Amino acid sequence: MQRFILRRLVLLVPVLIGITILVFGMIYMIPGDPVVVILGSDYTPENAELLREELGLNRPVIAQYASWLGNVLHGDLGYSIFPFGGVKYSGQPVGKLILSRLPTTLSLTIGTMILAVLLAIPLGVLSATRRNSIVDNVLRIVSMLGISMPVFWFGLLLILVFAVKLGWLPSNGNFFNSGPKALILPIVALGIAQAGLITRMTRSTMLEVLGEDYIRTARAKGLRESVVYYRHALRNALIPVVTVIGLQVGALLGGAVLTETIFSMPGLGRLLVESVFRRDYPVIQGCVLVITLLFVFTNLVVDILYAILDPRVRLV
């Protein structure tokens, strides 16, 4: 297992280099001149030239990339070129802005996936083992509703019922102000949709595995159905499910913008969208870099889970 993990870490090196090149080059593909955006009404050709000199934008691209990468490796993601929260521009460090938003995003993502997995995998197994029964049909309908239901609409419905009408939970999802209970509604709003997809995937893979020869052999040996389901079938059925979970985690890291907006959560996705509208290029770079690195780390964890579930993967 150690050699397998080491090989995966070595393979990550070119991936990480490619990520830094894409993130750095992304700024040159965005329409508009950052110097014009920064100067605004103070723009003149002389001021623009001075600012380009100050920011190093008149240097060769390779030199700019090397300088930027060196700063990133030292934990310096640059400085915001716009104010946040109505404060006059004071060059806030991008790393500080991201670190202030990251706990919210990680809490939302982890909580959502824990809820989704705890609900979906048992329900998916139950649906597969009761194929074409009333239970199976009900679970398939419910899971489809979870997938198709707009998250923003469901989130607003949860706020209306549990925050406005009943007053049980806060409508604000900022757990720094309202405590851990503030995360319940946004986690439920996102978790139901994720659970629907995982439930359907678990059911599909379980049905496929239950038709394999080794499952029939296990039953012929007189093993209990629970042993056949959970010891022999589920382990192999989980491999595609783990892939879906990994992709969902990556999507939630930067894609839960609507949920963060509805519940007034200061998350990373919301910061990224705000920065895009402001054309705050250093913050955009920093957010995309952090989200991408988290997604790469998630894929590494998925690879390790593959190796645990199926030892043959370690030989690849």
CA 112/CA 84 separation, integer angstroms: 28
Residue type, 277: F
- Judge contact between 78 and 64, C-beta under 8 A: no
Structure tokens at 165: 């009408």
CA distances from residue 169 to 158, 186, 263, 309 in whole angstroms, order as listed: 10, 11, 12, 39
- pLDDT at position 89 is 40
- pLDDT at position 85 is 46
CA 53/CA 120 separation, integer angstroms: 55
Structure tokens at 132: 């074409």
Which CATH number, 3.40.50.620, 1.25.40.10, 1.10.3720.10, 3.40.50.1370, labels domain 102-266?
Answer: 1.10.3720.10
pLDDT tens string, the chain, 316 residues long: the values are 777 778 778 888 888 888 888 888 877 776 666 677 667 667 777 777 787 777 677 778 788 888 888 888 888 888 887 654 444 344 688 888 888 888 888 888 899 999 999 999 999 999 988 888 898 899 999 999 888 888 888 888 888 888 888 888 877 766 666 667 888 888 998 899 899 999 999 999 988 888 887 888 878 887 787 788 887 788 888 888 988 888 888 888 766 777 888 888 888 888 888 888 777 788 888 888 888 888 888 888 888 887 787 666 665 5
Domain ranges of the chain: 2-91, 102-266
CA quadruple 32, 292, 62, 55: dihedral positive or negative?
Answer: positive
Question: Environment class of residue 316 by beta-carbon count within 10 Å: exposed (0-12), middle (13-18) or buried (19+)?
Answer: exposed
- Judge contact between 287 and 268, C-beta under 8 A: yes
Question: What's the predicted TM-score (pTM) here?
Answer: 0.81
Q: What is the DSSP letter of 180?
A: G
Q: Is 79 helix (H, G, I), strand (E, B) or coil?
A: strand
CA 280/CA 5 separation, integer angstroms: 37
Please report, in angstroms and rounded to a whole number, the separation of the first and last CA atoms in the chain.
12
CA 141/CA 199 separation, integer angstroms: 11
- pLDDT at position 199 is 92
